[in-house]
Structure 1
Amino acid sequence: MNAHSEERFTAEVYGKRLERAAELTRAAKLDALLITPGPDLRYLIGSGAQSFERLTCLVIPASGETASVVIPKLELASLSGSAAGELGLQVLDWTDGVNPYRVVKSALNAGARVAVDDAMPALHLLPIADTLNALPVSATPVLRQLRMIKDASEIEALRRAGAAIDRVHARVGEWLRPGRTEADVAADIEAAIVEEGHTDAAFVIVGSGPNGASPHHEKSERRLETGDVVVVDIGGPVEPGYYSDSTRTYVLGEPDPEIASRYAELERAQAAAVAAVRPGATAESVDAAAREPLSRAGFGDNFIHRTGHGIGLSVHEEPYIMTGSDLVLEPGMAFSIEPGLYFGGEWGARIEDIVVVTEDGCESMNHRPHGLAVV
């Protein structure tokens, strides 16, 4: 598939999502959902419309009646790649000089209790609240239930994304050479991410030597040196918008025995966490499975972040795999497993795969070797 080709799910898939959204809205004792451009709108109707000062808003009645799209007439073309037409959505277009918030109100019953997505800008939220004479509530409790459990079509999209980023990691060794800067390597990786099927490179972390001890270091003009441990954390969206995210750790030349020994503990921790993923387990128990081997080896204080985050149409979304989360895992949940070790001023390492919960365990979306890759 061409890296920039458009792909979306069938109208039947989007229709079922809208039906489910209405059901959950009723269950939450709300009358409607108001969804502005962002991952939620893309999830519900396949629209990649952008948010501007002019309001675009999907109105989903809890009653199950036909949803409406309030949209500026000059942005109508943004619906052409969505399922709006096939779904028979009511399109309420408006022109400059018309109050779009009153158009939204016209699509609602009087006194309607509405919820809005978290991506709605204040420049739209406040006028909507004023027009409805009521402050909307957050739609997160409804949308979380919708997006956290991936259906078969979404899981297949995540497989494609995982395979695409695996192909990039297979090439990273070509670019890691003493004397090159992290920025040099990052530029090559960014190009490869697109070449291997992503729409764009959403993020590229190349953390060499002491920079690898900072989990969210991006890139710098530091030049790679023989013996450096290099953390490479990369990802991007693959049509229809589902993200890859995978981290592997490389070393320039044979690693110091102590580094190799510590990295082996990280491998054991990542494998233990993956083995702990199954329906009925809690997010916290998976996080604990990653921490226990590292704590036993004396490196508990060197693992300084959560074990994982959900992924889909957003790079980071629910569920979050961390201490204190009693969320019970269910088939279809997709998230990263990414324990790391960080030694300030020296080096760092991380291993990250995306997994999807299955009926009896989990399926990994990534299949590159986990070992410290010598280049």
Structure 2
Amino acid sequence: MALHFTQDEYEARLGRLTAAMRAEKLDAVLLFAQESMYWLTGYDTFGFCFFQTLVVTADGGMVLLTRSPDLRQARHTSNIETIQIWIDRANADPTMDLKNLLSDLDLLGARIGVEYDTHGMTGHVARLIDNQLSTFGTLVDASSLVSRLRLVKSPAEIAHIETAAALADAALDAALPLIRPGAGEADILAAMQAAVLSRGGDYPANPFVIGSGADALLIRYKSGRRMLDTQDQLTLEWAGASAHYHAAMMRTIAIGTPSNRQRELYSACRETIQAIEMVLRPGHTFGTVFDVHARMMEERGLAKHRLNTCGYSLGARFAPSWMEHQMFHAGNPQEIAADMSLFVHVIVVDSDSGAAMMLGQTYLTTGDSPRPLSRFGLDAIAL
């Protein structure tokens, strides 16, 4: 087995999950989120785009139901001992195999939690699950059961997060010498990704974001590259990844002399993150963080140019996104605790003037002040 953590670590995670299941009065849980399976067992694949589920019973038993291409993947990367295969065939319904498995586990009439809210659960699969199991037992939406447990990181997880942060810094180190008038976005992007991979890091859970000129206002990756002009702006959002644990960063860099509007937006972004740092600690909630962000933007006349979130929790994530479910948005009651890995960003996109400014970095929370994980800090990048 090729595991990233000790068996003691995995046993502790399983113990936390079964305790949470008992608290929710669940006899079993069907895990469909690849992040949940990975956190619990080490199982590492992209085969979750097809039907597969990890059945966990209240006594700590585990059975993986998956396709044949992932049999050896599971044996090599996880501590799962029992693996069953459903057969690819015309009109296959793997939920029938699942019902038979649950029956063999003596779970008829049981209270069963299901991870519905995940990229590993399509609407088609959800309908099949409900049709097959609605009369078999009581189905409960347990989408947040494991994700809540994953919010606070162990020392071993923090070590990977710190490695990921160093990889993110290395990516920026590789990019900076290339950012100049006449440079190609493709060369910058290639250098950043190579810096992560060549140092033993992973592919990120979503593509790096790169955009210049008008595309600097975009917040997602898009196909197509351009060359930088003498006066330009370049937005980058990227992450280092170690054992799938991510540390993200975000910057908008001015090429040539920054405009007064760019300077104004940068100051607003920096001041807002500094204000957020004062509440990014135990005793506050994710909603409190957003409230600070919204107030700072409002005071600077930027309310219409901001987003409705200003960051999220990070951890071990798989495609299509490195964002975890807990986000800094209005009214989120999730409490901040020590040893959370949190990405804080302030994004201002002024379509009226065509100016963009984005600033963000990953923090590790403590019992007091949060610890930024990048050595670059919040200073504007001078080229």
Q: TM-score, normalised by structure 2?
A: 0.85
Secondary structure of the residue aligned to 1:245 is strand
Determine the structure 1 residue equivalent to 2:77: 82
Matches within 5 A, 1:1-375: 8-36=4-32, 38-51=34-47, 56-62=52-58, 64-72=59-67, 75-84=70-79, 89=81, 91-94=82-85, 96=87, 100-101=97-98, 102-118=100-116, 119-122=120-123, 124-132=125-133, 133-134=135-136, 136-201=139-204, 202-216=206-220, 218=222, 220-239=224-243, 241-314=244-317, 315-344=322-351, 346-375=354-383
Distance (Å, rounded) in 1 between the aligned partners of 2:106 and 2:348: 52
Q: CA RMSD in A?
A: 2.6
Q: Cα deviation per residue 1:102-131 (whole Å; 9 max; x = unaligned)?
A: 123312422111112232345554444444
Distance (Å, rounded) in 2 between the aligned partners of 1:74 and 1:342: 44
Distance (Å, rounded) in 2 between the aligned partners of 1:144 and 1:361: 24
CA shift in 2, pair 1:77/1:371, >3 Å = same
Distance (Å, rounded) in 2 between the aligned partners of 1:346 and 1:176: 20
Indicate conservation of the 8 Å contact 1:164/1:196, yes or no: yes
Q: Which range is displaced more, 341-350 or 185-194?
A: 185-194
Distance (Å, rounded) in 2 between the aligned partners of 1:13 and 1:268: 39
Q: Which range is displaced more, 137-146 or 180-189?
A: 180-189
How much has 1:20 moved relative to structure 2?
1.2
Aligned residues: 364
Distance (Å, rounded) in 1 between the aligned partners of 2:252 and 2:49: 43
Indicate conservation of the 8 Å contact 1:37/1:51, yes or no: no
- The residue identity in structure 1 corresponding to 2:191 is D
Indicate conservation of the 8 Å contact 1:28/1:142, yes or no: no
Distance (Å, rounded) in 2 between the aligned partners of 1:288 and 1:157: 30
Indicate conservation of the 8 Å contact 2:167/2:241, yes or no: no
Secondary structure of the residue aligned to 2:225 is coil
How much has 1:42 moved relative to structure 2?
0.4
Q: Cα deviation per residue 1:181-233 (whole Å; 9 max; x = unaligned)?
A: 43443233233332243222432212223222232354633321122121111
Indicate conservation of the 8 Å contact 1:339/1:351, yes or no: yes
Secondary structure of the residue aligned to 2:202 is coil
Indicate conservation of the 8 Å contact 1:319/1:335, yes or no: no
How much has 1:160 moved relative to structure 2?
1.0
Distance (Å, rounded) in 1 between the aligned partners of 2:49 and 2:228: 45
Q: TM-score, normalised by structure 1?
A: 0.87
Distance (Å, rounded) in 2 between the aligned partners of 1:198 and 1:100: 37
Secondary structure of the residue aligned to 1:197 is coil
- The residue identity in structure 1 corresponding to 2:354 is E
Q: Which range is displaced more, 115-124 or 305-314?
A: 115-124
How much has 1:65 moved relative to structure 2?
4.2
CA shift in 2, pair 1:32/1:223, >3 Å = same
- The residue identity in structure 2 corresponding to 1:323 is A
How much has 1:146 moved relative to structure 2?
1.3
